[in-house]
C-alpha cells in the first residue's frame, strides 16, 4: 500500500510539473536541413532536435512545433499563431512587422551549383543571362534582390521553382536546369550522402548570401529573447549545441563578450 501511495504521489507530482510548464509554440516550415516535413509526426532536422534538447534541459517551458509555410510565416507570427520562429536572416523581409529579435550566432550560406563539365569553372557563376535557375519556391535570394515573388523570378530569371532541394539538384544532373541555389549546409550533407552524384556537380566558392540567423519573437511571446538566450547558453555549456550544429554541417560564430 505504501509503495502504491508513493507511486501515486510521483505521478501527481509529474502531472503538476507538466501542467505548470508554459507552452512555447515555434513556427516551422520546410527548410532543409533546419526542418523537414514539419506537418508530419516524423518531422526531422535541426529545429526538432533543438526543441527536444530544450525540453530535456528544463521543465519551465515546453517547446512545440507549429507548421507554417515559407510564404505565410510572418503573417502567422503577427497573428499570434506561434510565439517565435528560428533561423531567419535579416535580409528576408521581416523588418516591417512588430517583433523582437535575437542573434543566434549560427552561420550558413546559399551557394550556386551547376553540372561539372571539363570546360566549366567558377566563372560560370559570374553571369546568369540565358541560364535556367532552379530555385526553392518562397525562398529569398540575393541575386534577385531578395524578391521571392514567383512571377518575378520566372519572368526575370527564367526560374524553375520547386519545393525540394533534391529535385533542383536532379534537374541539374539531367540537364533540365543550369544553376541551382542550395544552402551550404544542405549541400555538404548531400555530398556526404551521395558522393557519386556530388562529383558531377560544381559548387561555387562565392555564396549568393551568408545567413546571419536570428530568432524572431512576437511582442506578446510567452518567452522573452533574454530567457531564450539564457537557455541557448545553458545548452552550450557542455557543447551540446555545437554537437547539434555539427550534425547538420553548421557552425556557430563567436558570441560578443558581455561587459
Residue ranges of alpha helices (H) inside 174-224 are 184-193, 195-198
Kindly state whether residues 127 and 152 are assigned to the same domain. yes
pLDDT of residue 257: 41
Query: Checking phi first, is residue 43 left (phi over 0); if not, alpha (psi -120 to 50) or beta?
Result: beta
Kindly state whether residues 194 and 245 are assigned to the same domain. no
Q: Render 16-56 in DSSP notation, one character per residue.
A: HHHHHSEEEEEEE--BTTTBB-TTSTT-BSHHHHHHHHHHH
Range of the structural domain that residue 145 is part of: 109-210
Kindly state whether residues 171 and 88 are assigned to the same domain. no
Percent of all residues in the chain with a pLDDT value above 90, rounded to a whole number: 66
Kindly state whether residues 221 and 193 are assigned to the same domain. no
Kindly state whether residues 140 and 184 are assigned to the same domain. yes
pLDDT of residue 255: 57
Kindly state whether residues 103 and 217 are assigned to the same domain. yes
CA atoms within 13 A on the CB side of 149: 6
Tell me the C-alpha distance between 29 and 250, whole Å: 18
Tell me the C-alpha distance between 2 and 172, whole Å: 69
Higher pLDDT, 19 or 173: 173
Query: Residues 151-162: pLDDT tens digits?
Result: 999 999 999 999
- CATH code: domain of residue 227: 3.40.190.10
Mean pLDDT of 183-198: 93
Indicate the length of the chain as a whole number.
259
Tell me the C-alpha distance between 161 and 57, whole Å: 40
Tell me the C-alpha distance between 203 and 186, whole Å: 12
> CA-CA distances (angstroms) from residue 181 to 148, 176, 204?
13, 14, 10
Say if residue 254's pLDDT is above 90. Answer: no
Number of domains within the chain: 2
Query: Residues 207-238: pLDDT tens digits?
Result: 999 988 999 999 999 999 999 999 999 998 88
233: burial class by Cβ within 10 Å (0-12, 13-18, 19+)? Answer: exposed
> Which residues 6+ apart lie within 8 Å of 44 measured at CB?
35, 36, 37
Query: Residues 23-52: pLDDT tens digits?
Result: 999 999 888 899 998 887 788 999 999 999
pTM, two decimals, is: 0.81
Kindly state whether residues 95 and 149 are assigned to the same domain. no
pLDDT of residue 15: 45
Amino acid at each position: 500500500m505504501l509503495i502504491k501511495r508513493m507511486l501515486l504521489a510521483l505521478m501527481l507530482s509529474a502531472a503538476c510539473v507538466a501542467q505548470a510548464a508554459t507552452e512555447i509554440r515555434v513556427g516551422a516550415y520546410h527548410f532543409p536541413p533546419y526542418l523537414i516535413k514539419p506537418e508530419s509526426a516524423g518531422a526531422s532536422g535541426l529545429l526538432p532536435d533543438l526543441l527536444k534538447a530544450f525540453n530535456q534541459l528544463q521543465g519551465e517551458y515546453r517547446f512545440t512545433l507549429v507548421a507554417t509555410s515559407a510564404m505565410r510565416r510572418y503573417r502567422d507570427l503577427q497573428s499570434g499563431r506561434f510565439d517565435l520562429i528560428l533561423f531567419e536572416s535579416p535580409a528576408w523581409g521581416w523588418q516591417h512587422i512588430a517583433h523582437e529579435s535575437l542573434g543566434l550566432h549560427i552561420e550558413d550560406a546559399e551557394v550556386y551549383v551547376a553540372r561539372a563539365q571539363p570546360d566549366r569553372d567558377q566563372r560560370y557563376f559570374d553571369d546568369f543571362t540565358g541560364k535556367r535557375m532552379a530555385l526553392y519556391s518562397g525562398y529569398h535570394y540575393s541575386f534577385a534582390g531578395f524578391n521571392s515573388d514567383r512571377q518575378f523570378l520566372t519572368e526575370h530569371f527564367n526560374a524553375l521553382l520547386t519545393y525540394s532541394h533534391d529535385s533542383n539538384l536532379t534537374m541539374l544532373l539531367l540537364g533540365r536546369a543550369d544553376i541551382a541555389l542550395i544552402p551550404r549546409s544542405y549541400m555538404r550533407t548531400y555530398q556526404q550522402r551521395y558522393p557519386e552524384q556530388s562529383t558531377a556537380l560544381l559548387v561555387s566558392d562565392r555564396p549568393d548570401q551568408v545567413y546571419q540567423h536570428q530568432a524572431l519573437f512576437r511582442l506578446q511571446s510567452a518567452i522573452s529573447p533574454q530567457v531564450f538566450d539564457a537557455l541557448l547558453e545553458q545548452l552550450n555549456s557542455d557543447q551540446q549545441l555545437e554537437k547539434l550544429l555539427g550534425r547538420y554541417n553548421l557552425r556557430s560564430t563567436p558570441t560578443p563578450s558581455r561587459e
